[in-house]
Amino acid sequence: MPTSILPLVIIMFFILASSPKLVLSSHNFPLAKHKYCNDTCGGITIPFPFGTRPGCYISKEFWVTCNHDPPKIFWWETEIEITKISLDGQMTLLQSIAYDCYNKSGVSSTNSSTWIDLTERYFTVSNTANKFTIVGCDSYSFVSGNRLGRDFTTGCIAMCSSVDDLSAPAWGAARLPFPKMRVEVNSYSQYTNVSDFNTCGYALLLRTLPSAASTPRPHPRPCKRMVLYFHDILYNGYNSHNATSAIVGSPAWGDRVTLAGQNHFGNVVVFDDPITVDNNLHSPAVGRAQGFYLYDKKEIFTAWVGFSFVFNSTQHKGSINFAGADPLMNKTREISVIGGTGDFFMTRGVATLMTDAFEGEVYFRLRVDINLYECW
Ligand SMILES: *[C@@H]1O[C@H](CO)[C@@H](O)[C@H](O)[C@H]1NC(C)=O
Ligand SMILES: *[C@@H]1O[C@H](CO)[C@@H](O)[C@H](O)[C@H]1NC(C)=O
Ligand SMILES: *[C@@H]1O[C@H](CO)[C@@H](O)[C@H](O)[C@H]1NC(C)=O
Ligand SMILES: *[C@@H]1O[C@H](CO)[C@@H](O)[C@H](O)[C@H]1NC(C)=O
Ligand SMILES: *[C@@H]1O[C@H](CO)[C@@H](O)[C@H](O)[C@H]1NC(C)=O
Ligand SMILES: *[C@@H]1O[C@H](CO)[C@@H](O)[C@H](O)[C@H]1NC(C)=O
Ligand SMILES: *[C@@H]1O[C@H](CO)[C@@H](O)[C@H](O)[C@H]1NC(C)=O
């Protein structure tokens, strides 16, 4: 990799409201400043407390310049370019990448570390919005910082033997927000073992996400979807050979053969029902739905359900656990998928239940549309 390429790194900063004079919120970031204050530079807004000249910024720490062609915002008179200042107290800067290069005999050719020093009072590198990343196959890199007068160093290592593995996974940044930091990169064997494909190491802070406040949470998409049916045949005193469920609890005015009056309030039913992939009771079962439902309201027909789908088929091994309120009168009801085992290890999601068919109070069939949002 040629070292002349210096792609720029994005770093985000918090503005700390550490001064009573500077309680920062979007309410007191007026965009309208004195007429002679420029509000924008190269299309980028410069909100108060930032400004390009005295009377426009609140204090010298918030001074930015806009005297380049084409217009760009720079931090004071430094080479650090600002690409965004947002009203929620973050700004985005460009910063060069740290690198360390050797020729094929392992003799140091070029190297550079990056250094940034912010005034400790108002600014700090965001520890949530940045990721420290290293690229190289014989590289180690460290970030050293200073916060509140205390020094610390943290770092990471990348060793590999193939060009495909050049980039180590982005790595969580240092734990503390820090206003001063240095990024350095170095090597163990001067790339002599990997010089066929790699003679440089790079280290950088990458912006990860905009702050949660400024972006709406993305609408989640399911990682897995399945539609299954289960069939419940309630014991009614005559069908013990094919019943798959039984009333095990009943209020004082009922019994355990017929569901009680008043919308079955107080009945608890335990079931071990076959699960099929289509709506035919006689299709081969792919697992069992095991659990209970209890009727929990006198005035309307509604239940609470807790059950597991226990799979033991060639397609699936393991279980999915469900729990939640089941307002039976509604055509479709959503219940929580609260966990799983085996193929469904630690899964979570939502299942939509629909009563697909029922025959008196003996047989019903539920269609279960399972949408998993966490898959491992
Ligand atoms: C404000 O912007 C105008 C035009 O973009 C420029 O001529 C002027 O020098 C700027 N003033 C300051 C104080 O930066
Ligand atoms: C590496 O640099 C050293 C010192 O400049 C030189 O002697 C050597 O020949 C170079 N090796 C290669 C492979 O270019
Ligand atoms: C950086 O380069 C200089 C000059 O080429 C060299 O003396 C120094 O050892 C290098 N630093 C590292 C960390 O390799
Ligand atoms: C490079 O190769 C030498 C000799 O094969 C080996 O001793 C050394 O550990 C290797 N270094 C790295 C960083 O893999
Ligand atoms: C249960 O068995 C009885 C008697 O064999 C039969 O009439 C009934 O249809 C069966 N119920 C179901 C749901 O298969
Ligand atoms: C799963 O199926 C296999 C083969 O049909 C059987 O040996 C095993 O006992 C079953 N396990 C469970 C928990 O039902
Ligand atoms: C069920 O239906 C009732 C009346 O139609 C409605 O008020 C209620 O919000 C529905 N509940 C759910 C969980 O969909």
CATH code, domain with 235: 2.40.480.10
Asked whether residue 269 falls in the same domain as residue 359, the answer is yes
Q: Domain boundary residue among 88, 111, 129? A: 88
Ligand 7, atom nearest to 325 Cα: 13
Asked whether residue 171 falls in the same domain as residue 127, the answer is yes
Tokens of 160: 């590999």
Task: Report CA(184)–ligand 3 centroid distance (Å).
Answer: 11
Asked whether residue 241 falls in the same domain as residue 363, the answer is yes
From the CB of residue 345, how many other CB atoms can be counted at a distance below 10 Å?
12
Asked whether residue 370 falls in the same domain as residue 234, the answer is yes
Tens-binned pLDDT, residue by residue, of the chain (376 aa): 333 334 445 555 544 444 434 444 444 444 445 667 878 898 888 887 888 888 888 888 888 899 888 888 988 877 788 888 877 777 888 877 888 999 988 999 989 888 777 665 677 777 677 777 788 888 888 888 776 677 778 788 888 887 777 665 544 444 445 666 778 888 888 888 888 888 888 877 766 555 444 555 667 889 999 999 999 999 999 999 999 999 999 999 998 989 998 999 999 999 999 999 999 999 999 999 999 999 999 999 999 999 999 998 888 999 999 999 999 999 999 999 999 999 999 999 999 999 999 998 899 999 999 999 999 8
Asked whether residue 370 falls in the same domain as residue 237, the answer is yes
Is residue 8 included in any domain, yes or no?
Answer: no
User: Does residue 330 line the site of ligand 7, with CB under 6 A?
Assistant: yes
User: Does residue 104 line the site of ligand 2, with CB under 6 A?
Assistant: yes
Asked whether residue 152 falls in the same domain as residue 280, the answer is no
Tokens of 136: 């190289």
User: Does residue 59 line the site of ligand 3, with CB under 6 A?
Assistant: no
Is residue 121 included in any domain, yes or no?
Answer: yes
Give 331: exposed, middle or buried? Use CB within 10 Å, 0-12, 13-18, 19+: exposed
Asked whether residue 353 falls in the same domain as residue 318, the answer is yes
Q: Domain boundary residue among 207, 242, 265? A: 207
Task: Report CA(242)–ligand 5 centroid distance (Å).
Answer: 7
How much is the pLDDT for 19? Answer: 40
CATH code, domain with 144: 2.60.120
Asked whether residue 263 falls in the same domain as residue 329, the answer is yes
One-letter amino acid at 149 equals G
- State the total domains in the chain: 3
Tokens 């209020």 sit on residue: 251
Task: Report CA(98)–ligand 4 centroid distance (Å).
Answer: 24
Is residue 11 included in any domain, yes or no?
Answer: no
The closest ligand to the CA of 318 turns out to be 6
How much is the pLDDT for 11? Answer: 53
Task: Report CA(261)–ligand 5 centroid distance (Å).
Answer: 25
Query: What is d(CA 36, CA 32) in angstroms, rounded to the nearest whole number?
Result: 11
Asked whether residue 264 falls in the same domain as residue 347, the answer is yes
Taking only Cα atoms into account, the Rg of the chain, rounded to an integer number of angstroms, comes to 32
Is residue 217 included in any domain, yes or no?
Answer: no
**Contacts with 122 (C-beta within 8 Å, 6 or more apart), sequence order:** 15, 16, 18, 19, 22, 61, 62
Three-state DSSP string of the chain: CCCCCCCEEEEEEEECCCCCCCCCCHHHCCCCCCCCCCCEECCEECCCCCECCECCECCHHHEEECCCCCCCEEECCCCCEEEEEECCCEEEEEEECEEEEECCCCCEEEEECEEEECCCCCEEECCCCEEEEEECCEEEEEEEEEECCEEEEEEEEEECCCHHHCECCCEECCCCCECEEEEEEEECCCCCCCCCCCCEEEEEEEECCCCCCCCCCCCCCCCEEEEEEEEEEECCCCCCCCCCEEEEECCCCCCCCCCCCCCCCCCEEEEEEEEECCCCCCCCCCEEEEEEEEECCCCCCCEEEEEEEEEECCCCEEEEEEEEEECCCCCEEEEEEEEEEECCCCCEEEEEEEEEEEECCCEEEEEEEEEEEECC
User: Does residue 107 line the site of ligand 2, with CB under 6 A?
Assistant: yes
One-letter amino acid at 154 equals T
The CA angle 34-64-94, to the nearest 5 degrees, is 140
Residue nearest ligand 7's atom 2 by CA: 330
* This prediction's pTM: 0.47
Is residue 194 included in any domain, yes or no?
Answer: yes
Residue among 262, 329, 265, 315 at smallest CA distance from 287: 315
Q: Domain boundary residue among 207, 234, 250? A: 207
Is residue 12 included in any domain, yes or no?
Answer: no
Q: Which residue segment(s) compose the domain that 60 sits in?
A: 25-88
Is residue 360 included in any domain, yes or no?
Answer: yes
The closest ligand to the CA of 158 turns out to be 4
Asked whether residue 238 falls in the same domain as residue 139, the answer is no
Structural contact between residues 320 and 307, judged by C-beta atoms closer than 8 angstroms:
no
Residue nearest ligand 2's atom 9 by CA: 105
How much is the pLDDT for 349? Answer: 96
Asked whether residue 168 falls in the same domain as residue 74, the answer is no
Query: What is d(CA 367, CA 127) in angstroms, rounded to the nearest whole number?
Result: 46
- Cα 361 to the center of its chain, rounded Å: 45
Is residue 123 included in any domain, yes or no?
Answer: yes
Asked whether residue 81 falls in the same domain as residue 107, the answer is no
